[in-house]
């Protein structure tokens, strides 16, 4: 399993509430519907009272590095235009940072609870 993380900043002029609502209620369902090969999509919203330099983290799960590469190619296609245009409505795409990783679990409390 490969995960990609994108650290995002909201577009200037949006409140945090407007940004998070749009991301969760509009963009999230759109991405879930149009992104090919996606295994899991997680939005990480900030916990109130904890300051951060970013406004959210997008976590996307892929079967393997090749499926993630296919996604990156797809993002440049005409078919992905609807997603890119929607991102421009609420994300400052000039400030996002992407990180692609393989997971190495060190602690998993859930596994301890299994019989």
Strands (E), 1-115: 2-8, 40-44, 56-62, 97-102
Running along the chain, 115 residues long, what does each successive block of 10 average in pLDDT?
96 96 98 96 95 95 94 96 97 95 88 60
At residue 80, the pLDDT reads 97
68 three-state secondary structure: helix
At residue 61, the pLDDT reads 96
At residue 108, the pLDDT reads 87
Tell me which residue of 13, 10, 12 sits closest to 27, measured CA to CA: 10
Q: Which helix (H) or strand (E) holds 85?
A: helix 81-90
Task: Domains for the chain: give ranges and CATH numbers.
Answer: 2-104 (3.30.70.100)
């Amino acid at each position: 399993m490969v995960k990609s993380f994108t650290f995002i900043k909201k577009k200037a002029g949006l409140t945090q509430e407007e940004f998070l609502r749009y991301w969760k209620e509009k963009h999230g369902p759109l991405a879930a519907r149009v992104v090919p090969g996606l295994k899991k999509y997680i939005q990480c919203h900030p916990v109130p009272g904890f300051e951060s330099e970013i406004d959210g983290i997008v976590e996307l799960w892929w079967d393997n590095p090749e499926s993630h590469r296919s996604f990156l190619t797809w993002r440049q296609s005409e078919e992905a235009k609807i997603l890119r245009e929607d991102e421009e409505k609420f994300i400052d795409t000039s400030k996002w940072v992407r990180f692609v990783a393989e997971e190495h679990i060190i602690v998993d409390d859930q596994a301890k609870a299994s019989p």
